[in-house]
Amino acid sequence: MSPKASGVKQIARNKKAYHEYIILEKFEAGVELFGTEVKSIRQGSINLKDAFCVVKNGELFAHGMHISPYEKGNIFNRDPMRPKRLLMHKREIMRLFGRIKQDGLALIPLSVYFKDSRVKLELGLARGKKLHDKRDAAAERSSMREMDRKLKEVRS
């Protein structure tokens, strides 16, 4: 038997989520996938840009998560945009469902990674940013960049 792959290997990040939302809490969920989808993810052909999660009938699904078809998968390839079921404990799903309904929050996929040869999805419980929040974040980033530049000049 071959040794089991260990460690965490990041495959994709949703950079847009950090721009559009304020992340309040992070969760880890497994993803129910087919073989060709896993092979495609290993090649890094996954896009989380417009992805979101919903709770339906007590189950958690990720919509808008695009996994490109595996080129050697022929008839076994699935629809790239099909909703993927996420694997979490029932009480965690119900707690998230309550927070989403009550507080008007959203569940957003933040990253996809391999953890001990299993595909995991990092979810963020998020609140949408207003336009002024985005402007404040951009101003803060530029001021930090300017301070770093000045410190670099002083040191050299």
All structural domains of the chain with their residue ranges: 9-129
Cα–Cα distance for residue pair 112/156, rounded to 1 Å: 40
Residue 1: what pLDDT?
A: 42
Composition of the chain by helix, strand, coil, percent to 5: 35, 35, 30
9-129 is classed CATH 2.40.280.10 = yes
Q: What is the pLDDT of residues 68-124, one digit of tens each?
A: 777 776 766 766 678 888 888 999 888 888 888 888 788 889 988 888 888 888 998
- The model's pTM: 0.73
